[in-house]
């Protein structure tokens, strides 16, 4: 895997966490399960996404010279 996959995992982490949170709040609202019982799922999802990020590889390196100026 390359830096593109790493960037993709980073880009989808926020939306997936928001979708998960919204689903858990909706389940609480409709009385399926209380949020107090399901919030650990957020930690599990976050951990899985961090694991995918690690598997995807290291982020692309910055090839600019030190100081950040381009000649």
d(CA 2, CA 57): 6
The confidence score (pLDDT) of residue 56 equals 82
Helix axes 40-56, 3-29, angle to 10 degrees: 170
Half-sphere exposure of 12 (CA within 13 A, CB side): 12
Query: How much is the pLDDT for 62?
Result: 63
Q: pTM, whole model, 2 decimals? A: 0.71
pLDDT tens digits along 3-56:
688 788 889 999 999 999 999 999 999 999 999 999 999 999 999 999 998 888
Residue 63 has pLDDT above 80, yes or no: no
């Amino acid at each position: 895997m390359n830096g593109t996959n790493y960037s993709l995992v980073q880009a989808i982490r926020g939306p997936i966490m928001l979708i998960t949170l919204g689903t858990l709040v909706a389940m609480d609202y409709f009385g399926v399960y209380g949020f107090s019982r399901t919030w650990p799922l957020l930690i599990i999802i976050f951990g899985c996404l961090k694991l995918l990020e690690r598997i995807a590889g290291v982020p692309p390196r910055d090839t600019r010279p030190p100081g950040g100026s381009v000649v």
